[in-house]
Chain A
Amino acid sequence: MEVKGKVFKYGNDVDTDVIIPARYLNDSSEEALKAHCMEDIDPDFVKNVKSGDLIVAEDNFGCGSSREHAPLAIKASGVSLVIANSFARIFYRNSINIGLPILECPEAVKEIKAGDIVEADLSLGEIKNLTTGKTFKAQPFPEFIQEIISDGGLLKHLAKKGN
């Protein structure tokens, strides 16, 4: 699975309250979630994000609440991949479960800047910064996790497998 897009860059400890503020959790529809994605950390995100774009962040991305609305909002916004130094554990698990691609790669995070165009091959864990020409290698997910993500999440994956 290959992705390509422009980078939105953030720092450490991006929490789920800024990814999708709880004041909007009275509606879990994709339209409602994407309308407020990243609102409290980057009010222009919704206006500027295009399908295929990437989020790159530092440590502990997605910390805080267990709300699955957070990875859902990012996915609904069209983001094709989140690269971070590390992810908070519930967000990590939720991302896989709903089919939002994520990779851990501190080297890439260090080099990639906001606005760079980045391409990635999720099955190989290869990340290429097309703006600077630099390439990076992340640990790809094992095949069964990749299948869950490419099927669009755990439940769709299970349905496809006939469970």
Chain B
Amino acid sequence: MTSCKKVGMTASQKILAAHAGLDHVVAGQLISAKLDLVLANDITGPVAIKEFKKTGAKNVADNKSIALVMDHFAPNKDIKSAEQCKTCRVFAKEQGIENFYDVGKMGIEHALLPELGLVGAGDLIIGADSHTCTYGALGAFSTGVGSTDMCAGMLTQTCWFKVPSAIKFVLHGNFKKGVCGKDLILHIIGMLGVDGCLYKSMEFVGDGVKNLNIDDRFTVCNMAIEAGAKNGIFPVDEVALEYMKGRFKRPVKAYEADEDAVYDAVYEIDLGALQPTVSFPHLPENAKTPDKWGELAIDQVVIGSCTNGRITDMRIAAEVLKGRKVADGVRAIIIPATQSVYRQCIDEGLAQIFLDAGAIISTPTCGPCLGGYMGILADGERCVSTTNRNFVGRMGHINSEIYLASPYVAAASAVAGKLCTPDEL
């Protein structure tokens, strides 16, 4: 028998190997790995807690490595939602879970946890929320799971994984003005489809990476799940280190793929060639550039969510809305993702611009993105939204339509009363 050289690992595989106590893993291998953080929200938390109680267990494995964020239907939209938050609140108290975030401290989970430094480079994180993949922006391996896995994570602080293969995206150049991370990820999903990266990692590298600010990277990794991926991940460069400095509590561990790492596919993307991109109903893969938009009158705009509710997104929205008015007949809802982003909007004068334009500013919540509350659509209504999903009925009536867009396009559309780019104003 001849000994064969071990095949190189991707960055994602290296993080999994390190947390499984293994020198080497290969795609398809089943491993059990130690988790740095386990997350749930007010929708998925109660299901996990119910399961936890059924097991008869008294205590969670590590109450410092669990985060519970009340963000989906909070501030409570109705009695049932209030009960769900209460279930989480009582459990957090019983178990001494420090990272419990309620109204006043909470923000949208995937904006809040990086901001607080609870997640960072080299971490392995599971969350009972599909957009947990967001933290790959900081060089973490993070992925969404269901409530049962979350419960098992609380019980054991471990999770089993099937090691994923990966697709590599080599980014070159820089965005043109008015194009950002949202356009990049919608372009990729349009190119590969909503199951184009099913079960796989999406690894972003190349000389163009440095031109994506940290909020662009959060947006890109956030929507990896919309291509069916298990995780998305960026290299830990100066931009990422600068963001984590003074926030991230654990030592930074930067992983890079081996030079001989094997990828299922490699795509070269010229950022300078990207145009504003909008995903039409009812799938994120229906990505279209402005030449194919046509005339589409709209009823509502939402700027916020775990995809685009960060300070960069707020600044973009303000840049477009400054000195302008939201069109008659359009409801513009702006939702800073965390208390800190909210405060920054006030301190930087963005809030004033939003109010002068005739937009409303909401407390942090996931509400409208998933059709919970704070901006539900009626029969036949159209919304341009910086959120992540445009499925049938996602934001309200099954005959309503969602157009996924960047904050540039969403803000411009609010002013024009139709789907458009800032150039058309």
> What is A's interface to B at a CB cutoff of 8 Å?
13, 15, 17-18, 21-23, 25-28, 40-41, 59-60, 63-69, 71-72, 86, 88-90, 93-94, 97-98, 153-155, 158-159
Contact = CB atoms under 8 A, between A and B. Distances in A.
Contact of A60 (B47, B198, B398): B198
Interface string B359-374: 0000000000011100
Rank and list the top 7 A-B pairs by shortest CB-CB distance, nearest first.
A94-B146, A26-B80, A68-B146, A97-B148, A22-B370, A40-B393, A60-B195
A141 to B, nearest CB: 13
B113 to A, nearest CB: 16
B370 A65 contact: yes
A17 B393 contact: yes
A60 B199 CA distance: 11
B269 interface: no
For B46, B50, B130, which residue has the most chain A Cβ atoms within 10 angstroms? B130
A65 B195 CA distance: 14
Nearest to B77: A26
Given A13-B194, A26-B77, A155-B55, A60 B148 contact: no
B393 A153 contact: no
A80 to B, nearest CB: 20
Interface string B78-109: 10110010000000000000000000000000
A25 B370 CA distance: 10
Contact of B148 (A27, A59, A68): A68
Interface residues of B, number: 47
A68 B127 CA distance: 12
Contact of A155 (B54, B128, B132): B54
A64 B130 contact: yes
Contact of B55 (A86, A90, A94, A158): A158
A63 B80 contact: no
B147 interface: yes
B43 A67 contact: yes
Interface of B: 43-44, 46-47, 50-51, 54-56, 72-73, 77-78, 80-81, 84, 127-130, 132, 144-149, 151-152, 194-195, 198-199, 225, 228, 230, 283, 370-372, 376, 389, 391-394, 398
B51 A155 contact: yes
B389 A97 contact: no
Contacts of B146: 66-68, 71, 90, 93-94, 97-98
Contact of B199 (A72, A89, A94, A158): A89
Contacts of B195: 13, 59-60, 63, 86, 88
Contacts of B44: 66-68
Contacts of B198: 60, 86, 88-89
26 contacts: A15-B391, A17-B371, A17-B393, A18-B391, A22-B394, A25-B370, A25-B372, A26-B73, A26-B77, A26-B80, A26-B81, A27-B80, A28-B50, A60-B228, A63-B194, A65-B370, A66-B127, A66-B128, A68-B128, A69-B43, A89-B199, A90-B145, A90-B225, A93-B146, A97-B148, A154-B148
Contacts of B54: 155, 159
A105 B77 CA distance: 42
Contacts of A63: 194-195, 228
Nearest to A94: B146
Contacts of A60: 194-195, 198, 228
Given A66-B130, A89-B199, A98 B148 contact: yes
B209 to A, nearest CB: 26
Contacts of B129: 65-66
Given A26-B77, A66-B44, A67-B44, A17 B148 contact: no
Given A13-B195, A17-B391, A28-B47, A66 B144 contact: yes
B188 to A, nearest CB: 16
A82 to B, nearest CB: 15
Give the one of A13, A66, A89 with max B CB within 10 A.
A66
Contacts of A71: 146
- Which residue, A23, A98, A154, has most C-beta atoms of chain B within 10 A? A23
A38 B73 CA distance: 22
B152 A40 contact: no
B46 A18 contact: no
A65 B130 contact: yes
Q: Which of A25, A26, A158 has the most CB of B within 10 A?
A: A26
Given A17-B392, A67-B44, A153 B228 contact: no
A150 B46 CA distance: 24
Contacts of A90: 130, 144-146, 225
A87 to B, nearest CB: 9
Nearest to A99: B148
B392 A18 contact: yes
A94 B47 CA distance: 12
Nearest to A92: B199
Contacts of A94: 145-146, 148-149
A93 B146 CA distance: 8
A60 to B, nearest CB: 4
A38 to B, nearest CB: 11
Given A18-B392, A25-B73, 20 more contacts: A23-B371, A23-B372, A26-B78, A26-B84, A64-B130, A64-B389, A64-B391, A65-B370, A66-B128, A66-B144, A68-B148, A71-B146, A86-B195, A89-B198, A93-B149, A97-B149, A153-B148, A154-B152, A155-B54, A155-B148
